[in-house]
Amino acid sequence: MNTELGWLSLLPSLLAILVAIATRRVIWALLGGVILAHGLLFMPAWTDAGMSAATGLYETLTAPNNLLIWGFTLGIGALFGVLEQGGTFRHFVRALENKQFVPNRRRARLFTWMLGVVVFIESNVSIMTSGTTSRPVYDKLGISRQKLAYIIDSTCAPVCILIPLNAWGAFNLGLISQQDIADPLMVLAGSVVLNAYAVFALFLALWVAWSGWSIGPMKRFELAAQAQAAEQDDATPEQQPAHKGAVTTVLVTLITMVAMVPVMLYITGDGSIIRGRGMQSVFVAIYVALGLALIGSWWSLGTSWARLGRGIVTGAWKILPLALILWLAIALGDVTRTLGSGEYLAGVLNEALPLYVLPALVFILAALTAFAIGSSWGTFALMLPLAIPLGLSLGIPVPLMIGAALAGGIFGDHASPISDTTIIASLASGSDHIDHVRTQLPYALLAAGFTIVFYLVAGLYVTLS
């Protein structure tokens, strides 16, 4: 098996990214990346490479943690399929309009931003909740789904890393605990405010929500959405009053889904949210919410069970491509770690440089790694064991180095077309995936530019003090 491939180890991820952008066929791009990665591992034994690729895909599909991911992915599709088919979502949107919570575009965008901040327990649940709740309102008001995808993607992941009472927090705490750190929890807490990219991305999204600012390709989609909404307004009859029972069903379902996550984290962690099982908690929360949605739709609107069953199937079927993309993205991330892509990038970029540039270098290295493998989790696992000893040995504050590594991983969540968070944001908003990547990239790069300046200044301050 070839595990020391140098620059060749980057080819599978680069191929997947370039093919996805060029062809918009993300599934085929990811599958090609997986096959190429296994080919590099076993070249020139191509038969072994084929067997390894098939085995890797199967093991990724059937891994217990991944089964939970497939389960809650299809479950969230079924949940919102029931709310849509059952008619309760339509009444919920009417209620928002009638109560004037979102009477205009600015209020609608701010509503989405605040919803993403409030639902901080799990990024995927937050994205799905914010996206699917806001989408009908955005369509009516003439805000592009690409703008929705940007706001939810740039709100939910940063908030979840800045308020680490979730699976991300537990995962990173575990990585920090493996290093020579006296108080891992306090060090993790100290790194939160030094995660500059998450802070800049969150407040840039707030500014965009307030102002409606569009740059790059986003302008075209905004104009198209406004024109389409104007046409629909001419042909749309006046809305009828919202059914209170249906609105209650949606509210209870969404609140329960969010509230059940920390409850299950507490239960599965034997009294500690931080030690709780994140995937299992999300899985249970979604299916409890699905049960409430079924009962509430039947009770409030008298929706037949046959129609609700069709909602389950239709909703799960719509989100099935997401599950497939997630499967291939995880498989690609696993094999690229075996190839040593992250270690190679670390070796290339970690040259003899002035001390003050190291926090910025860690951010750039983590950002490139996350962009290449499409996984913030994988980036954290690769970068924290590199950044923490580097900080300890050179006298750079460890929270600053951790913050830089986490910031780079979050950037990958925004910029990479093979990131699961980027993919879920596209699905939740109803935006074409590559359109979301292209329209979000200018904002992500702007926040990344501010972040690099911050880490250069912070590094210079540390070295001079």
- pLDDT at position 66 over 70: yes
d(CA 29, CA 20) in angstroms, rounded, equals 5
Segment among 2-16, 205-219, 340-354, 433-447 with least mean pLDDT:
340-354
402 and 458, same domain (yes or no): yes
- pLDDT at position 212 over 70: yes
Is residue 44 included in any domain, yes or no?
Answer: yes
**Alpha carbon separation from 264 to 89, 134, 281, 282, 283 (Å, rounded):** 26, 26, 5, 8, 10
Domain that holds residue 222: 66-324
pLDDT score for 120 = 60
28 and 86, same domain (yes or no): no
Mean pLDDT of 162-181: 68
Residue 11 — pLDDT band, cuts 50, 70, 90?
confident
394 and 297, same domain (yes or no): no
Query: Where is the domain boundary, 274, 296, 324?
Result: 324
253 and 337, same domain (yes or no): no
163 and 134, same domain (yes or no): yes
Segment among 329-338, 343-352, 383-392, 409-418 with least mean pLDDT:
343-352
Is residue 1 included in any domain, yes or no?
Answer: no
Segment among 61-65, 112-116, 217-221, 238-242 with least mean pLDDT:
238-242
Tokens of 279: 């995937």
- pLDDT at position 45 over 90: no
Mean pLDDT of 296-316: 89
Mean pLDDT of 152-162: 84
Q: For residue 375, which of 13, 41, 2 has the smallest C-alpha distance?
A: 13
Segment among 164-173, 262-271, 423-432, 435-444 with least mean pLDDT:
164-173
Position with higher pLDDT, 63 vs 234 = 63
Q: How far is CA 217 from the centre of its chain?
A: 21
pLDDT tens digits, one per residue of 112-130: 898 788 766 556 667 877 7
**Alpha carbon separation from 189 to 159, 176, 341, 376 (Å, rounded):** 14, 11, 29, 19
For the chain, the domain total comes to 2
Tokens of 320: 């099935």
311 and 169, same domain (yes or no): yes
- Residue 336 contacts residue 373 (beta carbons within 8 Å): yes
32 and 70, same domain (yes or no): no
d(CA 375, CA 385) in angstroms, rounded, equals 16
- pLDDT at position 462 over 70: yes
425 and 308, same domain (yes or no): no
Q: What is the mean pLDDT of the chain?
A: 81
Residue carrying the six token digits 């979000």: 440
Torsion of CA 301, 305, 310, 312, to 10 degrees: 90
d(CA 411, CA 397) in angstroms, rounded, equals 22
Query: Where is the domain boundary, 324, 355, 385?
Result: 324
410: left (phi over 0), alpha (psi -120 to 50) or beta: alpha
- Residue 277 contacts residue 268 (beta carbons within 8 Å): yes
- pLDDT at position 98 over 70: no
Segment among 151-165, 279-293, 299-313, 319-333 with least mean pLDDT:
319-333
Position with higher pLDDT, 156 vs 406 = 406
How many Cβ atoms from other residues are within 10 Å of residue 436's Cβ? 24
Residue carrying the six token digits 């389960």: 71
DSSP output for 124-147: HHHHHHHHHHHHHHHHHHT--HHH
Mean pLDDT of 243-267: 84
- pLDDT at position 306 over 80: yes
Query: Is the pTM of the predicted complex or chain greater than 0.85?
Result: no
76 and 47, same domain (yes or no): no
57 and 162, same domain (yes or no): no
273 and 208, same domain (yes or no): yes
360 and 275, same domain (yes or no): no
Query: Where is the domain boundary, 298, 324, 350?
Result: 324
